Amino acid sequence: MLKKEQNDLVTQTGPGTPMGNLFRRYWLPALLSEELPTPDCPPVKLELLSEKLLAFRDTSGRLGLIDEFCAHRGVSLWFGRNEENGIRCPYHGWKYDVTGQCVDVPSEPEESGYCEKIKLKGYPMVERGGVIWVYMGPPELTPPLPEWEFATVPLDQSYMSKRLQDCNWLQAMEGGIDSSHVSFLHGSSLLHDPLFKGAKGNQYNQNDFKPVFEVVDAPGGLFVGARRNAEDDQYYWRVTPWIMPTFTMVPPRADHPMHGHFWVPIDDHRCWAWSFDYHPTRALTATERQAMIDGHGVHVVVDKNYVPLQNKDNDYLMDRAAQKANLYYSGIKGIGMQDASLQESMGPIQDRTRENLVSTDNGIIMARQRLMKAAKALMENPSMDLPGLSPEDQKVRSVAVLLKRDQVYKEAAKEHFKAVPGKPQQSV
């Protein structure tokens, strides 16, 4: 368990907080490309790390993320006109470019230079892999662009979705590195979900409900290894990489696409759950892509605002009959919402002073320690290098593998953890 001050440290990400400062040193997924599809399209309100912001794509196609509110009288620029390489406030016509610089104050003489003195907060954005990323930290410390494999393969090999999750980012992320719950919560879903079914590894999940965890250091974070018994003096290993601060990748099953998540704080009570699928050596089939759109695998069906159609207001469409019949172990349909429903049930911020952890929680314990240590160190040295910033840290894969019982997974499977273009995934 954590002390209250530790729980506060690791869950609070607003401006000026230690964990917020840590998040701001990374490129974070902010929007899907589909949300800003064309030059001069409607702007998008976006809240990240407890900051209310406005994203837009200008006439030249440049991306900008600026303070949502006009510097004049505080009007939301979401009502603004996106035109001629800037967003113009409809109240009095003040206009801003993608950096937040005011470029026109119609009521003031141009020769006065007044508008040059006005600048909103602005953050750089880049587009990679169908995702628009933002960096919110010190400009002089801007890291290399994101190099996650899903964002660098051809677009026909990947799929990304996002959804609102009504809880703090940390309890969502902790679910992503907790392999022990799969045999229970997702056990029946493994049999019929089109993006999981048919894999030999599913049998090992269902036959061994007592995985043994071995958590080791990775260049950008941790490798969370969960081993289960298999035949012929072997263990079935599922190894989840966690790369700071919030990237997790689920071990693959058979030749199904690989998948994973980012959980990005909106504020301390809500987060964006980003879910990706990709295959490193082939295009996704039409059937696979449609299954993702339909909310299978790690994805969820959402409305136009990316709010899940299954949510706490309708009890996640809980089906007690399906629960009794073991069609869905928890009565909730869909792996993504099976996770989200239980994570949200903990409350907006889980009270970790009351929990009772066991050996299968070692990955969670070590990730918390890493996060708290890094956040505190950053307070002492704001320009320090952080794990997960290097492109090499990001070129990582999850692994599912059968190994002899006397083999050490970090050594025996080390070549499989490297994301190499065109190299097949290691799966069971």
- What is the per-residue pLDDT across 388-403, written as a single tens digit (0 to 9) for each? 999 999 999 999 999 9
Report pLDDT digits (tens) over 144-191. 999 999 999 999 999 999 999 999 999 999 999 987 888 789 988 888
Per-residue HEC secondary structure of 14-77 comes to CCCCHHHHHHCCCEEEEEEHHHCCCCCCCCEEEEECCEEEEEEECCCCCEEEEECECCCCCCEH
Distance CA 76, CA 418 (A): 45
Instruction: Clarify whether residues 83 and 192 are in a common domain.
Output: no
Contact by Cβ (8 Å): 425, 417: no
Q: Give me the mean pLDDT over the 202-218 stretch.
A: 91
What's the residue count for the chain? 428
Whether residue 166 lies inside any domain: the answer is yes
Instruction: Clarify whether residues 53 and 178 are in a common domain.
Output: no
Distance CA 77, CA 414 (A): 50
Instruction: Clarify whether residues 300 and 154 are in a common domain.
Output: yes
Q: Give me the mean pLDDT over the 285-297 stretch.
A: 98
- Tally of domains within the chain: 2
Instruction: Clarify whether residues 295 and 401 are in a common domain.
Output: yes
Report pLDDT digits (tens) over 410-425. 999 999 999 999 999 9
Instruction: Clarify whether residues 129 and 154 are in a common domain.
Output: no
Instruction: Clarify whether residues 100 and 163 are in a common domain.
Output: no
Whether residue 426 lies inside any domain: the answer is no
What CATH number does residue 53 fall under? 2.102.10.10
Instruction: Clarify whether residues 205 and 118 are in a common domain.
Output: no
Q: Give me the mean pLDDT over the 225-248 stretch.
A: 96
Whether residue 355 lies inside any domain: the answer is yes
Task: Quote the pTM value.
Answer: 0.96
Phi, psi angles (nearest 5°) of residue 307: -90, 130
Q: Which residues contact 346 (CB under 8 A, 6 or more apart)?
A: 167, 171
Instruction: Clarify whether residues 77 and 197 are in a common domain.
Output: no
- Measure CA of the first residue to CA of the last residue in the chain; give whole Å: 34
Q: Which residues share a beta bridge with 32?
A: 131
Mean pLDDT estimate for the chain: 96
pLDDT higher than threshold 80 for residue 39? yes
Sign of CA dihedral 16, 22, 23, 24: positive
Distance CA 176, CA 218 (A): 17
Confidence of residue 301 (pLDDT cuts 50, 70, 90): very high
Instruction: Clarify whether residues 136 and 211 are in a common domain.
Output: no
**Structure tokens, 415:** 């070549």
What proportions of the chain, in percent to the nearest 5, are helix, strand and coil? 30, 25, 45
Domain of 132? 27-141
Q: What does DSSP assign to residue 348?
A: S
Q: In what side-by-side order are the strands of the sheet with 131-135? A: 27-32, 131-135, 125-128
Distance CA 60, CA 83 (A): 10
Distance CA 252, CA 236 (A): 12
pLDDT at 190: 85
Contact by Cβ (8 Å): 132, 33: yes
Whether residue 195 lies inside any domain: the answer is yes
